[in-house]
């Protein structure tokens, strides 16, 4: 019998090999992510989870002025990105990119907190401080008081905007 000589073949959970086009698409996506990295400021770059090699390549790109050299260097950054956690880098870059959905969601969360702080009582302030450690609590409470006073008097002296800016600074420190 033939079955005595052959063992049953089990299903392998191997992925099918990627096509050349799929590999190219992935490389172009990594290069595009690298372009987005190059547009960040130094303080923002320090908050991006990346290796030392990628960090040095990004810093080096500021010195390159020739078009073809920039293109090749961007390809090099894309090559380095293969060994990085691209999803983590993409998410971190989205936090700083005003055109991304993550950035917009982040602003909506801050707006909700601001509105809750202005319309709420001391329990809301305590809840915010518990969830987001504030270094200068006295200044924070003063900003909330001023924003509440503006809302009660139906004036706009900019206190609400100052509170929002303060909340945004606290969030950026935590990233």
Tens of each residue's pLDDT in the chain, 175 residues: 555 565 655 555 567 788 889 889 988 998 999 999 998 888 888 888 999 999 999 999 989 989 999 999 999 999 999 899 999 999 888 888 777 788 888 889 999 999 999 988 888 888 888 888 887 889 988 999 999 998 888 888 888 899 999 988 888 777 6
pLDDT given for residue 158 in this prediction:
87
**Pick from 29, 22, 23: which is nearest to 77 by CA?**
29
pLDDT given for residue 53 in this prediction:
93
Domains in the chain and their CATH numbers? 20-96 (1.10.60.30), 101-174 (1.10.60.30)
**Pick from 39, 41, 51, 38: which is nearest to 88 by CA?**
51
- Enter the pTM of the model: 0.60
What crossing angle do the helices spanning 20-38 and 52-60 adopt, rounded to 10°?
70
């Amino acid at each position: 019998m033939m079955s005595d000589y052959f063992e049953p073949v089990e299903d392998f959970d191997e992925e099918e090999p990627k096509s050349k086009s799929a590999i190219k698409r992935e490389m172009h996506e990594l290069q595009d992510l690298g372009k987005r990295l190059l547009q960040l400021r130094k303080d923002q770059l320090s908050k991006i989870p990346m290796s030392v090699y990628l960090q040095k390549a990004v810093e080096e790109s500021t010195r390159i002025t020739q078009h073809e050299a920039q293109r090749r260097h961007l390809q090099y950054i894309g090559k380095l990105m293969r060994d990085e956690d691209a999803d983590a880098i993409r998410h971190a870059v989205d936090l700083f990119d005003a055109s991304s959905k993550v950035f917009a969601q982040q602003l909506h969360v801050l707006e909700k907190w601001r509105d809750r702080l202005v319309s709420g009582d001391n329990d809301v302030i305590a809840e915010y401080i518990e969830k987001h450690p504030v270094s200068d609590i006295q200044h924070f409470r003063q900003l909330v008081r001023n924003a509440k006073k503006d809302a009660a008097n139906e004036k706009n002296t900019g206190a609400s905007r100052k509170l929002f800016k303060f909340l945004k600074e606290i969030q950026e420190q935590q990233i």
